[in-house]
Amino acid sequence: MKEQDEKEQKLSEQEPLKELLEAAENGKEPLSAEAEQAPEEEGPTLKEVIEETAREDEQPLSSQFTLRKILGGDILNNRSIRRQIWLILLIVLFTIIYVANRYSCQKDLIEIDRLNNVFQKAKYKALSKSSELTEMSRESNVLEALKANNDSSLKQASQPPYFIEIPQ
């Protein structure tokens, strides 16, 4: 452990020297310590970004993915998949919501269709009962029913009705 710490310390001490040598070779004036620190404060340099993204231990995406690796879960160890896991989970969540919403809508449509059928049957039943009531309440049918039961001495009028006027 101490050997590694010593190596890292030596490398960190040599970095300013390397930068000075490179500046001298290019014919530029070396930057002061304050000017050297300013770009680092702004953000990572291009070199740091490339070093961070390009690692030797990570295998590149290629045709090495086999069905066995995908089904075995080895694909989940890939860095690009790990970085996009939240996007994948969001897509899965939206898919589940979409399927559930579609199921709910289909259930509602089935219920609406069933209620429309019940409404049509009730409408036809009400229309047929209204027709039967109209038929039974006709004057001729009422008189026939009364004659058949001998309940009344009502007869059909042979003269038209007339109005009696009362003077006021």
Place of tokens 């007869």: 155
Asked if residue 73 belongs to a domain, the reply is: no
pLDDT tier, 23 (very low <50, low <70, confident <90, very high otherwise): low
Asked if residue 114 belongs to a domain, the reply is: no
pLDDT tier, 116 (very low <50, low <70, confident <90, very high otherwise): very high
Residue 112 is predicted with a pLDDT of 98
pLDDT digits (tens, 9 = 90+) for 60-69: 555 566 788 7
Asked if residue 117 belongs to a domain, the reply is: no
Asked if residue 72 belongs to a domain, the reply is: no
What gap in Å lies between CA 97 and CA 57, rounded to an integer? 38
More confident residue, 1 or 76: 76
3-class DSSP string for the chain: CHHHHHHHHHHHHHHHHHHHHHHHHHCCCCCCHHHHHHHHHHCCCHHHHHHHHCCCCCCCCCCCCCHHHHHHCHHHHCHHHHHCHHHHHHHHHHHHHHHHHHHHHHHHHHHHHHHHHHHHHHHHHHHHHHHHHHHHCCHHHHHHHHHHHCCCCCCCCCCCCCCCCCCC
Residue 79 is predicted with a pLDDT of 77
Would you say residue 34 has pLDDT above 50?
A: no
Q: What is the pTM of this model?
A: 0.41
pLDDT digits (tens, 9 = 90+) for 137-163: 888 888 788 878 877 776 777 888 888
As for how many domains the chain has, the answer is 1
Asked if residue 109 belongs to a domain, the reply is: no
Asked if residue 27 belongs to a domain, the reply is: yes
Asked if residue 46 belongs to a domain, the reply is: yes
Please give the residue range of the domain that contains residue 35. 10-54
Asked if residue 40 belongs to a domain, the reply is: yes
Using CA of residue 79, residue 82, residue 83, residue 84, what is the dihedral sign? positive
